Homo-oligomer: A and B are copies of this chain.
């Protein structure tokens, strides 16, 4: 590519953005957290961070949004760093496989959540990170870790969102108390949920999120620096969990359509990994019936197809 030419990847992003920007069917903005209900369904951001260091963006890629459950990928990484495979004694590695997931499954499986990427599992992960510290310290550690991954100290938690969840999170209170009744939480429920609600309230732009997730595409190493975040095997395994469990009861469909490991959040963000090649972050606040970004999923399907990134092709 000579100077003056546009990179083909930039062309793909621009094309995808142009095609989706005019869509009128954009899903419904999550309304169960008051602060999220204000999000503008018209927004659409796309960002790609290649493992060779280059990055490309389109649309609202620099506007911060609440990453919500996407943060579970980062807390899982932190918790594995703390306790390693001992984590798997307290949380499973199987898809939850049911719209009736969460609490029904917890009753049948005696307080052990199916995987670390559903709410119940991420609450156990928060309990692991808490590890005898005060919530404030654990939250600080998580923020510092995400800033380190994204190489961006401006990343912060949105306190209004964190408070909003704390006030209305009855379902998560139920999950946490239920697991505690089985002895699968070691700290006070309010402290664990304090950590959980705060990391869900992390605010990142697509550009920041793509960069923060890039170590998973780069065999566990930071892009550019070469600094190792996790071993190659652990990066591979986190990707496997994202593929089988990253989209609640829409995980199979996402694998079928997009063919990349990914994790979605009810704020409308999705992080997807093309191993060896790229980390992709998309954002659009309208959700589909499974609670995943409607346009975000479509954008990823188009990007993965046009760039030829599916992990299920040769």
Q: Which residues of A contact B (CB under 8 A)?
A: 51, 92-98, 100-108, 114-115, 170-171, 173-178, 180-181, 189, 217-219, 232, 235-237, 239-241, 243-245, 249-253, 255-256, 259, 261, 275-277, 310-314
Q: Are B253 and A93 in contact (CB under 8 A)?
A: yes
Instruction: Determine whether the beta carbon of A312 is less than 8 Å from that of B237.
Output: yes
How far is A94 from B276 in the complex, measured between Cα atoms in Å? 26
**Contact partner of A177 among B173, B217, B253, B259, CB < 8 A?**
B173
Chain B proximity of A266: nearest CB distance (Å):
15
Partner of A252, one of B107, B115, B219: B115
Chain B nearest Cβ from A57, distance in angstroms: 22
Contact call B181/A177, Cβ cutoff below 8 A:
no
Given contacts A94-B97, A98-B97, A312-B240, contact A174 B175 (CB under 8 A): yes
C-alpha spacing A255/B310, complex, angstroms: 16
Number of identical monomers bound together in the oligomeric complex: 4
Contacts of A175 in B (CB 8 A): 174
Q: Would you call the interface of chain A mostly helix, strand, loop, or mixed?
A: helix
**Distance (Å) between the CB of A217 and the closest chain B CB?**
7
Residues of B within 8 A of A255 (CB): 240-241, 243-244
In the complex the two chains form, what is the Cα distance from A232 to B305 in whole Å? 11
Of B104, B189, B219, B252, the residue contacting A95 (CB under 8 A) is: B252
- In angstroms, Cα B256 to Cα A245, docked, is 11
Q: Give the residues in chain B near A176, CB-CB below 8 Å.
A: 174
Contacts of A250 in B (CB 8 A): 94
Q: With A98-B105, A174-B174 known to touch, is A312 a contact of B243 (CB < 8 Å)?
A: yes
Q: Which of B102, B232, B251 contacts A94 (CB 8 A)?
A: B251
Q: Which of B107, B219, B252, B277 sits near A104, CB closer than 8 Å?
A: B107
Question: With the chains together, A98 CA to B115 CA distance in Å?
Answer: 12
A123: min CB distance to chain B, Å: 12
CA distance A286 to B89 in the complex (A): 25
**Choice from B92, B256, B276 contacting A313 with Cβ under 8 Å:** B276
On chain B, the residues within 8 Å of A219 by CB distance are 313-314
Contact (Cβ within 8 A) A256 B237: yes
